[in-house]
A and B are shown apart, each in its own frame.
Chain A
Amino acid sequence: MTKSCQWNQLSLRRFSIMASAVGRICGARLLKNYGLVAPQVCQLSTGAQGWTKNRKLWLSTVGVVGSGVGALLFALEQSVQASGSEAHAPHQPWSHDGWFKSLDHASVRRGYEVYKQVCRACHSLQYIAFRNLVNVTHTEEEAKAEAAEAMIKDGPDEEGNYFERPGKLSDYLPSPYPNENAARAANNGAYPPDLSLICSGRKGGEDYIFALLTGYMDAPAGVVLREGQNYNPYFPGGAISMAQVLFDEAAEYSDGTPATASQLAKDVATFLRWCSEPELDDRRLMTIKAIGMFSMLAAVAYYFKRHKWSTLKSRKLAYKPVSKK
């Protein structure tokens, strides 16, 4: 016997082992020849070809466990969440809430102005570049002017020195502190977080930010605050190192909107939602597109189903009982 022949025999044996394994797993059902009429009888008759006892038991167990886990997850999500001490931010009627609602860009622009005049004193926004503002909150010229106002540290130059230059569109927004340690040292040991992704990073999103910014109050009796701390019921633990910064007229708007404290908070929350989710408008547009596309595909699928089933639905099966005689 030649070598190739042996190889062939080997591979044949392997194949037969694999085939028998598949057969064992799927049972004989996979390869069974039902004949011409049987599948149609199966589908069309209401005959009592019920499930076996084992299968019934198995499926009902899966059903009970599955729905139990689902109900548990739903209940956990819907719970009152009363274990913490912090207040839960009430939901505000944001103009970008909803399937098709874009961000209010006037609000985003005003929010940027609030960030620039107030928040930037302590908080960085290091993942937003000036070019991101173009056609979102600023025209290209305005964004260029905005960038040129900021001094950006650059280098090293030909002599190896670092230098400062006016910003360009490609630069990211400059941070108020060179690093985290400097930020902590300047803020009583507390680190003002970067705001680029804060809206997605905090439970409650823009509702939380709005509630936090407008929710400062005197500490209730029994709450001890250390020096430099303030009381805010929406902040986990209640003691927050950031002082209240948004008061009426704390910032100035270039479109003349009255700068009340709640207006400032609402605009900066909208701006931070944009920072966390710059693609929000695109997603809303994509929703509309997807609905158009899939409704057309659904119509095609419906027609195709009717087309293919028309022969089956209009078919009649006649049984000729064999007479006993």
Chain B
Amino acid sequence: MAIWAPVNRTLFKKTSTYFLVATLCTFFFERGLDMISLAIFEHLNKNKLWKDVKDRFKKKEVKKDEKTCK
């Protein structure tokens, strides 16, 4: 509780600082939630999303080009 009391006094008692804290927390919370959700989604769907898959199709085309060049 040693941390809580000064934080409460300096930040939460005044409407202006309280509003500022709420806005900043919202921003970071939203970014955090987005990043965590995306990380979970990409972990669950590994090797299925386009960013994981695109090399499979690319490499073939490069190889074909090399063959035609040779």
Interface residues of A (CB under 8 A from B): 95, 100-106, 109, 135-137, 139, 142, 254-256, 281, 284-285, 288-289, 292-293
Give, as a whole number of angstroms, the nearest-CB distance from A116 to chain B.
14
Interface on chain A toward B: helix, strand, loop, or mixed SS?
Answer: loop
What residues of chain B lie closer than 8 Å to A289, measured between beta carbons?
33-34, 37
Give, as a whole number of angstroms, the nearest-CB distance from B49 to chain A.
6
Per a CB cutoff under 8 Å, which of B33, B48, B60 touches A106?
B48
What residues of chain A lie closer than 8 Å to B57, measured between beta carbons?
106, 109, 142, 254-255
Q: Mark B51-70, 1 if CB is under 8 A from A, else 0.
A: 00110111011000000000
- Interface-central residue, B40, B41, B61, by most chain A CB under 10 Å: B41
Q: Is B36 an interface residue (CB 8 A)?
A: yes
Beyond the given pairs A104-B48, A292-B36, 7 more chain A to chain B contacts, judged by CB atoms under 8 angstroms and listed by A's residue number, are: A101-B44, A105-B50, A139-B54, A255-B57, A256-B60, A289-B33, A289-B34
Give, as a whole number of angstroms, the nearest-CB distance from A278 to chain B.
13
How many B residues are at the interface, by size bracket?
10 to 19
| Contact A101:B34 (CB < 8 A) given known A109-B53, A136-B50, A255-B56 | no
Give, as a whole number of angstroms, the nearest-CB distance from A182 to chain B.
34
Interface on chain B toward A: helix, strand, loop, or mixed SS?
Answer: helix
Q: List 14 A-B contacts (CB under 8 A).
A: A95-B48, A100-B45, A101-B48, A103-B48, A105-B48, A105-B50, A255-B56, A255-B57, A281-B49, A284-B41, A284-B45, A292-B36, A292-B37, A293-B33
For residue B61, which residue of chain A has the nearest CB? A254
A255 touches B60 (CB 8 A): yes
Give, as a whole number of angstroms, the nearest-CB distance from B4 to chain A.
16
For residue A135, which residue of chain B has the nearest CB? B50
- Interface-central residue, A105, A139, A293, by most chain B CB under 10 Å: A105
Give, as a whole number of angstroms, the nearest-CB distance from B6 to chain A.
23
Give, as a whole number of angstroms, the nearest-CB distance from A112 to chain B.
11
B37 touches A105 (CB 8 A): no
